[in-house]
Amino acid sequence: MHARTEDTVKDLRQAQWFTRLGIRDTEVADVLSSWDEAIQSCSSIEWENLCLEAANQYCLRLVERSPERWEKWNEIVSEVKPIAEALVREKTKQVIDANNLPKVFLDTVNWDIVHLLMESEYADVYPPGFYASQAYWYVKGHFPCGWKGEFPNGKLIIY
């Protein structure tokens, strides 16, 4: 794993996730007010499609810029995924237990963090983007969970 990815994991580990849920401390995102709303938003087909499209677009840029590096994608995923999943389990356990959150919440956070680490691994080929911006909100204590409007216009939805 690249040193910048190790630094990303370290920064994520030191941050206090889910400490500002529902707090309207930004104008750049719509802030939800309950877990029910957040789970409904993160499990919507529109959000799932947007996240998948962001990952696909990132991969497409990698293929265009460095086909030989792209060929290592699955190998790198195999390396970073267990690290991401362990971190996510550590950071979500308390909030999952306290709020009886469904599996879709854990799946959403896992997807975000695995893709964040992949953006970090490939940052020398193509700059991090969508998932780095998602990580910003985790570090700030929120849960990024949807999009309002037609992407890229509109606003991120956070809890």
| Of 64, 58, 65, 81, residue with least CA distance to 128 | 58
Residue 151 has pLDDT above 90, yes or no: no
Which band of pLDDT confidence, cut at 50, 70 and 90, is reported for residue 29? very high
Report CA-CA distances (Å) from 36 to 39, 43, 84.
Answer: 5, 11, 25
**Average pLDDT score over residue span 41-63:** 97
Residue 30 has pLDDT above 90, yes or no: yes
Residue 90 has pLDDT above 90, yes or no: yes
Strand partners, 31: 158
DSSP 8-state secondary structure symbol assigned to residue 36: H
Q: What burial class does residue 63 get, using C-beta atoms within 10 Å of its C-beta: 0-12 exposed, 13-18 middle, 19+ buried? A: middle
β-bridge pairing 29-31 and 155-158: parallel
For the entire predicted model, the pTM comes to: 0.95
pLDDT value at position 3?
A: 95
Residues 6+ apart with CB under 8 A from 155: 28, 29, 30, 147, 148, 149
pLDDT value at position 12?
A: 97
DSSP 8-state secondary structure symbol assigned to residue 24: -
| Of 80, 112, 109, residue with least CA distance to 93 | 109
**Average pLDDT score over residue span 52-60:** 97
* Percent of the chain whose pLDDT exceeds 90: 98
pLDDT in tens, 128-147: 999 999 999 999 999 999 99
Q: Please count the other Cβ atoms lying within 10 Å of the Cβ belonging to residue 4.
A: 13
* Percent of the chain whose pLDDT exceeds 70: 100
Contact present, 62 and 134 (Cβ < 8 Å): no
Residue 152 has pLDDT above 90, yes or no: no
